[in-house]
Amino acid sequence: MAIEHYNGGLRNLRNHQLQAAFWEFEYANHLDPDIPKVHYSLGHVYYLMHDLTDARNEFLRALKHNDDPSSTYNYLGKIALERKQYQEALIDFHKALENTLNKTPYYPLTNIGKVYMLTGKFEKAKEYFAKAILRNDRFLPAYFWLGKVHMSEGAYEKAIGDFSETIRLAPGFSSGYFELGRAYLKLEDQKRATEAFTEAVRLDPTSKVGVRAKRYLLLLPQTPLKKQGGGSGPASDKKQVNP
């Protein structure tokens, strides 16, 4: 019965019914409190609800009798990272990498890179983002955060390459266009910056990214964008990089 409710929770998660998934996992836990994947799923739901304390408690419970704790340690590291407990986060992410059979090592590798980036160790950050890309050359977060490091270093041309790659992998990724706009603006290419910010607004007009892009557009010269098929910049770049 516990497994049936656990499977019901997974179905609700796939349908984006977070509250229903939570109750299914809770009931499964009530029926059998010793199933690691039930605690892991509860931790996942708590994390999505931004309840980091309960999420951490469930992930710690998920470590018991768990043959493959890699994903659990990665989540614990993410919680520590959000709390700015950087040393603890590094320990957890490295524990996530201890299992050589880990099928998704690019997650903790990218997260280790984020820790180093946030603590100003850019060379180490780039090293780990590169390792993540070697494991999975279609892993968008690694390119995105690598671009952020290049922006911090003033390597704007490299950042443009990184953010363009995120757009190639996910043409609807508004943050990729927003950061691309910032990179072009640093290079004083106002036309391409305008096109990139405009696309970010079109894709996600009411989000924080869209609102920030609108603010940038207010500071830029209002020039009409060329229609699809003409000109250069992100509009034509998008055409080139889309799968």
Domain residue spans of the chain: 138-243
Residue 127 has pLDDT above 70, yes or no: yes
Using one digit for the tens of pLDDT, what is the confidence trace for 86-114?
999 999 999 999 987 788 999 999 999 99
The percentage of the chain sitting over the pLDDT mark of 70, rounded to a whole number, equals 91
Whether the pLDDT of residue 243 is over 90: the answer is: no
User: Residue 236's pLDDT band (boundaries 50, 70, 90)?
Assistant: very low
Q: What is the mean pLDDT of residues 28-41?
A: 94
CATH superfamily of 138-243: Tetratricopeptide repeat domain (1.25.40.10)
Q: State the SS3 of the chain.
A: CHHHHHHHHHHHHHCCCHHHHHHHHHHHHHHCCCCHHHHHHHHHHHHHCCCHHHHHHHHHHHCCCCCCCHHHHHHHHHHHHHCCCHHHHHHHHHHHCCCCCCCCCHHHHHHHHHHHHHCCCHHHHHHHHHHHHHHCCCCHHHHHHHHHHHHHHCCHHHHHHHHHHHHHHCCCCHHHHHHHHHHHHHCCCHHHHHHHHHHHHHHCCCCHHHHHHHHHHHHCCCCCCCCCCCCCCHHHHHHHHCC
Give 199's pLDDT tier (boundaries 50, 70, 90): very high
Question: Which pTM was predicted?
Answer: 0.84
pLDDT tens digits, 51-71: 999 999 999 999 987 878 999
Bigger pLDDT: 65 vs 167: 167
